[in-house]
C-alpha cells in the first residue's frame, strides 16, 4: 500500500512503539458475551502480536502492540497454543483472535499458519477474527472451511458520518463495507462490527446521534454483534485533531445514551466496550454504578433505569 502524506503525519506524531515479542501474546481475557439468540457465551479473547496494520487510521492506538515487519511464520501458532494451554477448563464457547491488524493479510497472518491455527481453534464452537473490510474475500472463506466451528469476522465500520469517513484515513467507503457484509452473509459467516463514539470530525452535539445511525446501518446489513467503542486519545494525531476543534472526547453519559437507544436494534446485540471506561468517569459518586449498569445491559440487552446521582445529575 502506498504511504500517503496523512499516513506519514500520523506516524510521526506517535510516541515510540513499545517493544513487543512476536512469540508471546500481548495478553488474554475470559469474558461473557450475549449472542443474538439470547444465550450468553464464555469467550476467550487472545491479543496476538504480529505485523502492524497497513491502514493508518487517525484514531488507532492498536499499533502499540504490533511489530515492525511481517509476522514470523509459526509465531501466532506459538502464541495461541501457549494461551490455550494456560486456560483452565472448561473450554470456552468462543475464541477471539485479535491481532491488532487484519487476519486475512498474509503479512500479518502467514498463510501457512492458517491450518495450525484452525486446529488449535477446533475445541471452540465459534471463532472471531478481525479484518478491514477491504481484505475480506476468498481467504476468509478458505479459513472458514478449515474450522470445526463457525467463523465470525469483526469489521470496523467506525462511522457513517460522511465528513468523518473522509478524514479518519481508514480508506473505507460504505459501498466497500456493504460488499464485505454481503460476502460474509452469502457464505454463512457471521459479522461483528465496531462503531466509534465521538469519532473525530463528528460535531460533539451530534456524536450520539451519528453513533446510533452507524449502529443501525450495521444492524440492517446483518451484523450479529455491534460494539460501541469510545474513541481514545493518546496517539498524537487525536491530540492534533482536538486542538483544531475537530474532536471532543466521549463521555460516560454519551455512551449510556448511545447504548440505551441501540438496544432497540435487537436481535443484533449492541454492547458498550468498557475497556478504560473508568477514564470516561467524572463523578466519584456514581461512575462505578453506571459502568456496572452498562455491563449488565451488555449481558441482558434489557433496558434498565439510569443511575440517579444528586452530585452530578447523571452527566
Q: With pLDDT > 70 as the criterion, what percentage of the chain qualifies? A: 99
Q: pTM of the predicted model, to two decimals?
A: 0.97
Give pLDDT, residue 1. Answer: 79
Give pLDDT, residue 2. Answer: 84
Give pLDDT, residue 281. Answer: 87
Reported as a pLDDT band with limits 50, 70 and 90, residue 188 is very high
245-266, pLDDT tens digit by residue?
999 999 999 999 999 999 999 9
Round the average pLDDT of the chain to a whole number and report it.
97
**pLDDT beyond 90 at 291:** yes
Q: With pLDDT > 90 as the criterion, what percentage of the chain qualifies? A: 97
**pLDDT beyond 90 at 267:** yes
How many other CB atoms sit within 10 Å of the CB of residue 269? Answer: 24
Domain boundaries, given as residue ranges, for the chain: 5-300
Summarize the confidence of residues 70-77 as an average pLDDT: 98
Give pLDDT, residue 11. Answer: 96
Q: Which of 176, 162, 175 is nearest to 206 (CA)?
A: 162
Give pLDDT, residue 313. Answer: 75
107-155, pLDDT tens digit by residue?
999 999 999 999 999 999 999 999 999 999 999 999 999 999 999 999 9
Q: How far apart are CA 170 and CA 156, in angstroms?
A: 9
Contact 299, 40 (CB under 8 A): yes
Q: Which of 53, 46, 54, 52 is nearest to 24 (CA)?
A: 46
Alpha helices in the chain (DSSP H): 5-13, 75-86, 114-120, 138-146, 162-167, 174-186, 207-220, 237-243, 252-262, 287-300
83-97, pLDDT tens digit by residue?
999 999 999 999 999
Q: Alpha carbon of 94 to those of 124, 205, 271: distances in Å?
A: 5, 38, 17
- Tell me which CATH code domain 5-300 carries: 3.20.20.70
Looking at the DSSP assignment, which residues form a beta bridge with residue 190?
152
Q: How far apart are CA 54 and CA 293, in angstroms?
A: 37
194-215, pLDDT tens digit by residue?
999 999 999 999 999 999 999 9
Amino acid at each position: 500500500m502506498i504511504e500517503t502524506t496523512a499516513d506519514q503525519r500520523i506516524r510521526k506524531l506517535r510516541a515510540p512503539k513499545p517493544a513487543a515479542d512476536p512469540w508471546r501474546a500481548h495478553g488474554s481475557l475470559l469474558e461473557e458475551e450475549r449472542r443474538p439468540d439470547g444465550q450468553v457465551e464464555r469467550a476467550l479473547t487472545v491479543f496476538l502480536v504480529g505485523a502492524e496494520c497497513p491502514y493508518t487510521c487517525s484514531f488507532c492506538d492498536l499499533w502499540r502492540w504490533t511489530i515492525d515487519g511481517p509476522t514470523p511464520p509459526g509465531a501466532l501458532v506459538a502464541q495461541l497454543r501457549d494461551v490455550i494451554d494456560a486456560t483452565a477448563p472448561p473450554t470456552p464457547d468462543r475464541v477471539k483472535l485479535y491481532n491488532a491488524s487484519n487476519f486475512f493479510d498474509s503479512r500479518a497472518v502467514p498463510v501457512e499458519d492458517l491450518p495450525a491455527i484452525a486446529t488449535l481453534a477446533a475445541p471452540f464452537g465459534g471463532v472471531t477474527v478481525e479484518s478491514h473490510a477491504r481484505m475480506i474475500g476468498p481467504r476468509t472463506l478458505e479459513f472458514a472451511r478449515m474450522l470445526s466451528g463457525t467463523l465470525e469476522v469483526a469489521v470496523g465500520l467506525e462511522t457513517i458520518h460522511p465528513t468523518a469517513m473522509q478524514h479518519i484515513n481508514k480508506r473505507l467507503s460504505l459501498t466497500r463495507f456493504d460488499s464485505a457484509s454481503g460476502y460474509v452473509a452469502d457464505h454463512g459467516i457471521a459479522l461483528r462490527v465496531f462503531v466509534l463514539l465521538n469519532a473525530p470530525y463528528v460535531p460533539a452535539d451530534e456524536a450520539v446521534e451519528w453513533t446510533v445511525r452507524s449502529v443501525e446501518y450495521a444492524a440492517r446489513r446483518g451484523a450479529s454483534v455491534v460494539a460501541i467503542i469510545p474513541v481514545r486519545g493518546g496517539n498524537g494525531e487525536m491530540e492534533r485533531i482536538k486542538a483544531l476543534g475537530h474532536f471532543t472526547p466521549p463521555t460516560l453519559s454519551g455512551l449510556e445514551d448511545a447504548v440505551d437507544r441501540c438496544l432497540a436494534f435487537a436481535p443484533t446485540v449492541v454492547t458498550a466496550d468498557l475497556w478504560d471506561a473508568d477514564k470516561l468517569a467524572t463523578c466519584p459518586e456514581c461512575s462505578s454504578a453506571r459502568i456496572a449498569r452498562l455491563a449488565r445491559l451488555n449481558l441482558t440487552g434489557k433496558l434498565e433505569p439510569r443511575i440517579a446521582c444528586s452530585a452530578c445529575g447523571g452527566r
